[in-house]
Structures are given as C-alpha cells and as structure tokens.
Amino acid sequence: LPSLFEYARITGWGLGGGSLVLYYQSLNDSSVYRYATFTGSINPGWEKAFHGIDCEVVSDSLYKMGKDEDLVVARYKVRGILKDNYSNLNDLLKKFTYTREDVSFYRLYSDGVSRSIYDVALEEDRVVFTTSDLFLTLKRQDLHVGYNIVEISGEAKVGFGDIVYSSSHSSYVVVYVEPEGTPSPTPEKTPEPSQSPAPSETPFPYVKRRW
C-alpha cells in the first residue's frame, strides 16, 4: 500500500480530529488523480508505521577443549535493536509511527529462555537493548573429537500495548576438541640387585720389621 504521507496533506490535527486532504487515483483513468477533503471530528483508524526490529547474538566464534579438559564455557550476549528513525520525525509523524515513546516492554530470549535486560541505549534513530554476559557450558561427553558446531539462538521482542513485534537470530560457535590424553604406562619397578654378603674382615697382618 502507498504511504499516506505521499498521497495526503494534513492541514490540522487534534484529539477530536482535524482537516485532511486525501489524493487518490481515478478508477477510470489511471493518469487522473482526484482529492477529497475531510474536516471536523474525524479519527480514521490508520495503522502506525513500524520501521523494524533486529536481533543479534554476539559471541566469540572459536573455542578449544584441551586433552585434559572436560568442558569449555562459551560467553555471549543477545541484543535487540528497535529502529524508529526518531531523529527524523517531527511531532506529527511521531503520532503515526511506532517509536520509543510508545514502547510498553522490551524482551530478550536465548534458546527459548527469557533473559534479563542489562542495558537500554537510546540512540538517534534506534534503541539498543542488551543482556549482560551469558554463559553456555559445553561438555566433552556431549561433543566429539575434532570440530563441533554449536548453535546459539536468540530472539528480541518489543511491545506496543497489545501489538508485539519480534526478530530472531542464531550464532554459531565452533569448538575444537582434542583427544583425551593417554596415561603413560607405569614402569615396572626393577628389583635392586642382590648384595653379596660382606666379606669377613681380615685382620691387618702383623709385620715384624728390622731396623
């Protein structure tokens, strides 16, 4: 559908209605455009424009499990981005656009589990809401020797009253698992050589000398 603001001109607006000039294409001749003027207490139920929401899962991409290790811990965050083009909207356009001022809640999930939101940053044309560091424990018994690819999924939601918009994203972590170390064989104890019995002491011979 065409944007209302490409085919209409609002000359005044208030809580009880206003004045609207609406341009429309003739059904009989597509090259002809007509217009109609609405004034007074009018309040058409136009749907607000929504500029979008994105989700990101941010993590390190490679982990290594050494031969003497039984697990590694992957660290990641989930981030939601509400795009509202806020700095480019005048007061009138804000009434017809879902913006940060209309948000009733922000929510973030990872692997289907709701996560606490650590930070909400208001930027010129978007709102970024993020979890704190999250951790995923990867155990040797659940992996195989060599390279393993593990998926971490995330979802971001933003609510405007009864209307909810969402976006999802997955990140992939590569875990390299070294073979477990083979214990060195225990050397057999070599018996000490048997000792011959000590020879009996021979007394120093008495030597008679002549001077």
Tell me the β-bridge partners of 75: 135
* Fold topology of 53-177: Immunoglobulin-like (2.60.40)
| DSSP E strand boundaries for the chain | 8-14, 17-25, 33-38, 53-59, 62-65, 71-83, 105-110, 113-115, 117-122, 126-131, 134-139, 146-160, 163-177
Tell me the β-bridge partners of 63: 175
pTM metric for this prediction: 0.65
Structure confidence at residue 151 (pLDDT): 96
Q: How much is the average pLDDT of 138-158?
A: 96
Structure confidence at residue 41 (pLDDT): 61
Dump pLDDT digits (tens) for 56-99: 999 988 999 999 999 999 999 999 999 999 999 888 788 889 99
Structure confidence at residue 16 (pLDDT): 60
* DSSP at 100: G
210: exposed, middle or buried (Cβ count in 10 Å: 0-12, 13-18, 19+):
exposed
Q: How far apart are CA 170 and CA 64, in angstroms?
A: 21
Structure confidence at residue 90 (pLDDT): 85
- In this structure, what is the dihedral angle of CA atoms 122, 125, 127, 128, given to the nearest 10 degrees? -100
* DSSP at 186: P
Q: Is the pLDDT of residue 103 over 70?
A: yes
Q: How far apart are CA 106 and CA 79, in angstroms?
A: 11
Dump pLDDT digits (tens) for 3-57: 444 555 656 655 566 676 777 666 677 777 777 776 666 555 567 889 999 999 9
Q: How far apart are CA 167 and CA 157, in angstroms?
A: 7
Write down the domain spans for the chain: 4-38, 53-177
Dump pLDDT digits (tens) for 173-201: 999 999 987 655 555 555 565 555 555 45
Mean pLDDT of the chain: 81
